[in-house]
Amino acid sequence: MPRNQAEIERDVFNAYKIVRNHFRKFEPLSIVFGLLKFLNSPSTAVSASHQPWLILLLIKWIFQDEQIWHQGRPKIDDRNLRKLINSVYKAEEKGRSPQETQSLEMFFRRMMYQQFGYQNQIDGVLSSFTLDVKLFGKDINPGFSQEFKQRFQLTVEEYLVLAFAIVSSLLANENQHDFQVNFFDEIADKFEENTSFHFLEAISITLIDIPERLARPIEKGVNSDEFHETSPFLNFPFVKTNDRYFVTHRDLVIRALKHFLYGSLKAMNSDKRNRKFSELFEESVGNHLRSLSTNTISEGQLKQKIGDQGKVVDFVVEEIDALVLVEAKATELAETGRLATNTQRLKDRMKSVLTAVKQAEQTLERMELNGLFDQNSLKSYLVIVTYGQFYIGDGTLLGALFEGTSFSAPEAIPIENIFILSFAEFEYLIAVAKECKKPINGILEQVKEVASKPEDRKVMFQNYLDDLFPGLELPRDNNDPFTLLLENSLPGLNFHKDE
C-alpha cells in the first residue's frame, strides 16, 4: 500500500541512519577518496549501472555530518567501502516509489533529470560552447563578461577554451582523475599569467570548505527528494587538495563546465543581465530560422502588421500550407520542477514556458482579425525553444502530462502540434530541414505520426529525429564562433573538432 509523505520520510531517515552509522566508523577523507576512486575507475565511469548520483549523494552526506572532523578513526578498507556503497543503494529503495508519485510519467521524469546528465559526448559539448560564445562573449554581452572577469579573474573566452581542453582530456583518457595547473603548460603562454590557476579555482572547492557549502538549515533533515536532486557538486565539480584538483565524476565535470556560464549569470541575480541574455537567446533562435529558405516574420514585423496591443510570439515561419509559431524562452526547469511529484506543481514551475501557448493563441487571433490567418485553410504549430531540456518530446506527451489540470491548447493549435525543444534540439531540427530540404511542419508531422503510438513515444525530441533520419550526417560549420575562438586563441594547436 502506498505510504503517506510522513511515512516515506520516516523510512528514508531510518535508512539514512544505517548509512551514517556505518561511515561514522571510519576516517571520512579515506572514504571520500575511496568513493572518488570508485566513481572514476574505468569500469565505473562509463557505466550508469553504478549509479554515480547515489555515490555523490553519499559523499554529500559524509560532508554534512556533524562529526566530519572528529579524529581517531581508522581508514576504511575495500570491503567496508563496498558495504557502505551497497547501504546507500538499499537506502534509495526506501525513497518514493512509482505508486507514491501521481503517475508513472512523473516518476520517470524525476529519474531522467537524475540520470540523463551523466551522458556526454563531444558533439554536445561543441554545440553548448558555441551557444555560450553567442550568449556570453565579450563583444556580444560586455556587461556579463566584465562582471565575470571581475569575479573569476579570467575572461569568458579564456574559460571556454580551457574548459574545452579539460573536456577533451576527460573524453580521450579514462584514467584522467585529477588535474594540476601544469596540465595547461602547452598553452599557458597564450593567456595572461595565472589564468589557468584562476580557471581551476573557479570550478573547484577545497576539502575544508565543503562542509560549510553543503551545510543544511538547522530545521531541515534528510529527505526523500535527495535521491533525485541535482548533485551540489555540479557547482564545484573538482575537489582541491594541495595543488591537485580531483575529478568528482567525469560526466558531472563535463555537465558542470557546460552549465557554468549560465549558472554564473543566475548567481549575478541581475534583471539587466537576464534581459540581455534573453535578447541574445531570441536573436540566436531568429538567426537559425532566417537561415531557412522560407519567410520568417519577426515579432517587430508582426506587430507592424497586426498592431502592438497584446502579446505575440517571437517569430512566425510561413510555410506553404502552415504557420509555425516560434517562441524563445531562455530558461531551464528549476529544481523544484525537476523534483515535482504531481503535474500541478510541474505546471506551476513551467509557468514561463507555458505562457507561450497563450501568446500563440493571441497571435493567431489577431492575425485572423487582420486577414493573415485562416485556420480552415492553414495548419498551425507552436515550437517553444528553451535553454534547458524539459523532457517533453512532443505535444501528445505534453497533453497527457497535464491532463486534468487547467492547462489546455488553443482551438487553432491542437495539443499534438505544440513542441518544447531545447536549443540543441532546435538546432538539430533546423539542420535536418536544411539538409533534407524539408519544411519544418513536414518534419513535425513525421514526429506526430510516431508520437501517436504510445509504445513509440519519446521524452526527447532529438530521439525522434535520430529514428526518423538514421545515418544522416549533418555538416559541421567550421566557421561557428567557438571553432573560430579555438583557432584564434590557440593557433597551431590541434583540438579535436569532430566526434
Read off the pLDDT of residues 290-319 as tens digits, 9 standing for 90 and up. 999 999 999 999 999 998 888 899 999 999
User: For residue 50, what pLDDT is reported?
Assistant: 83
In angstroms, rounded to a whole number, what is the distance separating the alpha carbons of residues 59 and 19? 11
pLDDT attached to residue 138: 93
Q: Is the pLDDT of residue 98 over 90?
A: yes
pLDDT in tens, 372-409: 898 888 999 999 999 999 999 899 999 988 988 888 88
- With b for 16 or more beta-carbon neighbours within 10 A and e for fewer, the 220-249 pattern comes to eebbbbbbbbbbbbbebbbbbeeeebbbbb
% of residues, the chain, pLDDT over 70: 95
Report the C-alpha gap between 143 and 137 in whole angstroms: 10
Asked if residue 410 and residue 330 are part of one domain, the reply reads yes
Average pLDDT over residues 40-67: 83
The residue to which cell 493549435 is assigned: 413
Q: Which helix (H) or strand (E) holds 382?
A: strand 379-386
Q: Which residues contact 332 (CB under 8 A, 6 or more apart)?
A: 262, 386, 387, 388, 389
Domain count, the chain: 2
The partner residues of 422 in beta bridges, in order of sequence, read 386
Burial environment of residue 2 by CB neighbours within 10 A (0 to 12, 13 to 18, 19 or more): exposed
Distances (CA, A) of 108 to 68, 101, 102: 34, 10, 11
Q: Tell me: do 196 and 334 sit in the same domain.
A: no
265 and 283 co-located in one domain: no
Q: What is the pLDDT of residue 259?
A: 95
Identity (one letter) of the amino acid at 411? E
* Main-chain dihedrals φ then ψ at residue 380, nearest 5 degrees: -135, 145
Q: Residue 147 CB: number of other CB atoms within 10 A? A: 16
Q: SS3 of 223, please?
A: coil
Q: Is residue 447 one of the residues assigned to a domain?
A: yes
Predicted local distance difference test score (pLDDT) of residue 46? 47
Task: Match 550508469 to its residue by C-alpha cell.
Answer: 48
| Residue 341, C-beta contacts closer than 8 angstroms, at least 6 positions apart | 96, 100, 101, 102, 106, 107, 110
Residue 8, domain member (yes or no): no
Instruction: Give the span between the Cα atoms of 298 and 320, in whole angstroms.
Output: 18
Are residue 194 and residue 161 in the same domain, yes or no?
Answer: yes
Q: Report the alpha-carbon distance of residue 268 to residue 285 in Å, rounded.
A: 24
**Quick check: is 112 in a domain?**
no
Q: How many helices (H) and strands (E) does the chain have?
A: 22, 9
pLDDT of residue 11: 97
- Exposed, middle or buried: residue 196 (CB in 10 Å: 0-12, 13-18, 19+)? buried
Segment 135-162 shows an average pLDDT of: 96
Say whether both 435 and 330 belong to one domain: yes
End-of-domain residue from the set 250, 269, 288? 269
The set of cell numbers assigned to 129 is 560552447
* Residue, of 422 and 310, whose pLDDT is higher: 422
Is residue 105 one of the residues assigned to a domain? no
pLDDT at 478: 67
Choose among 227, 195, 296, 273: nearest CA to 52. Answer: 227
H or E segment to which residue 323 belongs = strand 322-329
Residue 499, pLDDT above cutoff 50: no
One domain, residues 251 and 318? no
Read off the CATH number of the domain in which 436 is found.
Answer: 3.40.91
User: Parallel, antiparallel, or unpaired: how do β-strands 379-386 and 418-422 relate?
Assistant: parallel
Q: What percent of the chain has pLDDT over 90?
A: 77
pTM of the predicted structure, to 2 decimals: 0.93
Pair 341, 106: CB distance under 8 Å: yes
Whether 497 shows a pLDDT value over 60: the answer reads: no
Q: Picking from 4-8, 73-77, 259-263, 483-487, which range would have the lowest pLDDT averaged per residue?
A: 483-487
Q: Cα angle at 331 between 456 and 142, to 5 degrees?
A: 140
378 vs 158: CA distance, rounded Å: 48
Give CA–CA dist 330/333, Å, rounded: 11
204 and 303 part of one domain? no
Averaged over 272-281, what is the pLDDT? 96
Residue 26 lies inside a defined structural domain of this protein? no
Measured between alpha carbons, how far is 443 from 425 in angstroms, rounded to an integer? 13
Spatial distance between the Cα atoms of 134 and 123, rounded to a whole number of angstroms? 17
Does 411 map to a domain?
Answer: yes
Of 137, 116, 146, nearest to 52 (Cα)? Answer: 116
Residue 494's pLDDT band, with cuts at 50, 70 and 90, is: low
167 part of a folded domain: yes
Q: Is 243 helix (H, G, I), strand (E, B) or coil?
A: coil
Q: Does 441 lie in the same domain as 407?
A: yes
If asked whether residues 352 and 417 sit together in one domain, one would say: yes
Residues 169 and 284 in one domain: no
> What is the domain extent for residue 170?
118-209+233-269
| Cα torsion 424, 428, 429, 430: sign | positive
Both 173 and 278 in one domain: the answer is no
Within 10 Å of residue 14's Cβ, how many Cβ atoms? Answer: 11
Residue 44: the pLDDT is 54
The C-alpha atoms of residue 373 and residue 416 are separated, in whole angstroms, by: 20
| Per-residue pLDDT tens digits for 189-234 | 899 999 999 999 999 999 999 999 999 876 678 999 999 999 999 9
d(CA 175, CA 359) in angstroms, rounded, equals 50
Q: Are 60 and 28 in contact (CB under 8 A)?
A: no
pLDDT band with cut points at 50, 70 and 90 for residue 441: very high
Count of beta carbons in the 10 Å neighbourhood of residue 300:
10
DSSP lists the bridge partners of residue 246 as: 178, 239
> What is the band of 492 on the pLDDT scale with cuts at 50, 70, 90?
low
Query: Does a structural domain hold residue 402?
Result: yes
- Of 36, 305, 292, nearest in space to 177 by CA: 36
Mean pLDDT of all residues in the chain? 92
Three-class SS state of 343? helix
